[in-house]
Amino acid sequence: MVGKTIRQIILAACVYGLLGHVTSAAATTSQARPQTSLQNLVQNAGFEQLNDNSWESCGNVRLVDAQSAGAEFVHTGRYATFMGAGADGDGCPTLPDNTTPKQILTQQINIPANAPAVTVSFWFRAFAGTAVDVFLARGFYLFDPDLGGVKLGTFSTDQPPGWQLYRTVLQGERLERVRGQTLRISIVIQGNTGVEPDAVLLIDDVQVIAADGRTTASPLPAALRGDGSRPLAVTRIDNNQRRWLYRMDTDGGNVQLIYRGLLDDVRSPAWSPNGQRIAVVDNNLWPWPTPDPDPQNNLRASALTVLNADGSAVQQIYQTQSTKGSPCPFIPGPGETERPSLILRASDVQWMPDNARVAFTLVAFTQFCDGRTSGGLADILLLAPPSLTTTPVAQFATRPSINRDGRVLFDGFDLSLSRSNRADGVWERDPGGSEMRLIASNADRAPAWAPDGRRFAVVRVTTSPSSDVSDRTFAIMIYDRYNLDNPRMVLFADHGRTIGNLSWSPNGAYLVYSLERFDDRTDIWWLDIGTGATGPVTTDGNALEASWRPGVQQQRVYVPLAVR
């Protein structure tokens, strides 16, 4: 979500002449990862050298000055390029289809003939929808695959808040089209159907390098070296698909099995706020613990299990009760239709600040005898053991995160506006009340409160590489609850397929997250919130989720653990 204040300041900058026309371009990509000593093929990449003529533009492209319009309007340095509002097509070429782009920002670059890959990136901030094309093109705008060059993609300026990284790596056939070529990197607003009067596209820190510039692993920080305290509670999977609960140090060492689960399917570990117990989702079957003699009547279900930090005192505190439908195999009689089974499962368990109650997501869907499933609803419920009665926290909601004040963040979704009347996105519920508000867009998900109770992290689905590419790159954004218009991207996760399961260190300096690798296996990685450096905690592809023990003084001792 972008506040009206930002739009008003940007538009005021246009009206009162605080934006200069672009005749040149910028400095360096000092905040773009990975850091690299490779030469940037783009000159004046940060738009700081005002007397440089490397950049060309048309259609009323301008510079925004942070000293005049506010520091949030540049990524680094003093200047960034402003596109969108005020685009008029002035000086832009007419295309073969007799249309005229509304705005173009372009610079000529030379691609080395021996480039092993080419990485194109820039930082951008945008809102109010209009289409943006990105090219490595032969001419000022001209794009023709037969003449060399590539279209890198298309994205919309209708974006969630904050500066974001656009990065794409050219390899294979796309790389062959640009090797040894003199091309132009061109950022184009077409505007064939007009440009919204409040559309904004800010561009800064453009980079083209002759290498694969994706995020790479950094050395493990000294603060994360193993000390024997095993603060990470981790679910791991073996070759027999058994998911067990372990503890380990933050460097991936000192691994110890502490719980095998009811049926070898342990998920969603969560430390209690005092660091004394761990709650997990324990997938099993219903009825439990005594199965039905007819296996067809045993349905998928889940328990919530709590155990001590040393693996002792295992206790099931809740059990979902799925409901059997028509007998299987179903052979319909005249006028009969199959009644599916109702499957109830738990996920995303989290503790309340009192160390006694837990919140979790209850997922419901139907399943037919042939294995087909349909529907799917999810609500967040609150459980106060030893009572088995739950109370609702939020309907049409998943992935709760609870801070030290009892505020609940969750992913809200809407299957039918007439039922939930809620937009998709990250929502917040006040402690002890029913008031809820949307605080992050539907591109953001899986919120995780920081220990300070003010910041929170989310996983963002970015528009990079673009709508022209089927894969999406995920990122981690850090929000300040009192400045929601300016989240900070700390990780652009193009070193794997997907990321999730964020968990903070007790001092709020690091996160751990799960990274699905390109070979479909999963590891746990650490992330430095201050620098954006990241690296693996595990490397064998068998670690799925991790929870970092909160607020416990680490001691260099080995505690004997009981395996259950």
Burial pattern 413-449, b for ≥16 Cβ within 10 A else e, equals: beeeeeeeebebbbbbbeeeeeebebbbbbbbbbbbb
Where are the domains positioned within the chain? 4-209, 231-329+339-453+498-548
What confidence category does residue 404 fall into, taking pLDDT thresholds of 50, 70 and 90? very high
Q: Which of 132-136, 146-150, 257-261 has the lowest mean pLDDT?
A: 146-150
Q: Is the pLDDT of residue 342 over 80?
A: yes
State residue 51's pLDDT score: 86
DSSP alpha helix (H) spans, 166-323: 172-178
State residue 196's pLDDT score: 82
Mean of the pLDDT values across residues 152-162?
Answer: 91
Q: Is the pLDDT of residue 28 over 80?
A: no
Strands laid side by side in the 56-58 sheet: 56-58, 103-110, 182-189, 131-137, 150-156
- 16 or 84, greater pLDDT: 84
State residue 30's pLDDT score: 34
What confidence category does residue 8 fall into, taking pLDDT thresholds of 50, 70 and 90? very low
Write the secondary structure of 520-550 as one string of H (helix), E (strand) and C (coil).
CCEEEEEEECCCCCEEECCCCCEEEEEEECC
Q: Is the pLDDT of residue 507 over 50?
A: yes
Mean of the pLDDT values across residues 395-399?
Answer: 93
SS3 99: coil
What confidence category does residue 564 fall into, taking pLDDT thresholds of 50, 70 and 90? very low
What confidence category does residue 25 fall into, taking pLDDT thresholds of 50, 70 and 90? very low
What confidence category does residue 14 fall into, taking pLDDT thresholds of 50, 70 and 90? very low
* Residue 373 β-bridge partners: 367
SS3 297: helix
State residue 467's pLDDT score: 53
Mean of the pLDDT values across residues 82-92?
Answer: 91
State residue 465's pLDDT score: 66
Q: Is the pLDDT of residue 142 over 70?
A: no
Query: What does pTM read for this prediction?
Result: 0.90
- 138 or 98, greater pLDDT: 138
What confidence category does residue 433 fall into, taking pLDDT thresholds of 50, 70 and 90? confident
And the tokens for 411?
């992913």
State residue 22's pLDDT score: 56
Mean of the pLDDT values across residues 53-71?
Answer: 92
Query: Quick one: which of 320, 331, 321 has its CA closest to 370?
Result: 331
State residue 413's pLDDT score: 83
Q: Which of 145-159, 176-190, 259-273 has the lowest mean pLDDT?
A: 145-159
Mean of the pLDDT values across residues 521-527?
Answer: 98
- 9 or 140, greater pLDDT: 140
Q: Which CATH number fits domain 231-329+339-453+498-548: 1.10.8, 1.20.950, 2.120.10, 3.90.1200?
A: 2.120.10
Please write the tens of the pLDDT for every residue from 362-384.
999 999 999 999 988 899 999 99
State residue 434's pLDDT score: 78
Q: Is the pLDDT of residue 4 over 60?
A: no
Mean of the pLDDT values across residues 384-406?
Answer: 94
Q: Which of 31-35, 351-355, 495-499, 532-536 has the lowest mean pLDDT?
A: 31-35
Query: Considering the domain 4-209 in this protein, what is its CATH number?
Result: 2.60.120.260
What confidence category does residue 33 fall into, taking pLDDT thresholds of 50, 70 and 90? very low
Please write the tens of the pLDDT for every residue from 179-235.
999 999 999 998 766 788 889 999 999 999 999 999 999 999 999 999 999 999 999
What confidence category does residue 120 fall into, taking pLDDT thresholds of 50, 70 and 90? very high
Mean of the pLDDT values across residues 81-90?
Answer: 92
State the Cα–Cα distance between residues 380 and 422, nearest whole angstrom.
Answer: 15
- 9 in Cβ contact with 202 (< 8 Å): no
Dihedrals φ, ψ of 255, to 5°? -75, 135
DSSP alpha helix (H) spans, 16-139: 66-69
Q: Can you spell out the DSSP letters for 244-256?
A: EEEEE-TTS-S-E
Q: Is the pLDDT of residue 34 over 50?
A: no
State residue 322's pLDDT score: 96
Are β-strands 182-189 and 131-137 bridged in parallel, bridged antiparallel, or unpaired?
antiparallel
Please write the tens of the pLDDT for every residue from 239-260.
999 999 999 999 999 999 999 9
And the tokens for 4?
């009206």
SS3 277: strand
State the Cα–Cα distance between residues 254 and 249, nearest whole angstrom.
Answer: 6
DSSP alpha helix (H) spans, 287-389: none
Q: Is the pLDDT of residue 466 over 80?
A: no
- 379 in Cβ contact with 352 (< 8 Å): no
State the Cα–Cα distance between residues 481 and 439, nearest whole angstrom.
Answer: 8
Q: Which of 289-293, 345-349, 433-437, 486-490 has the lowest mean pLDDT?
A: 433-437
Type of residue found at 441: S
State residue 2's pLDDT score: 32
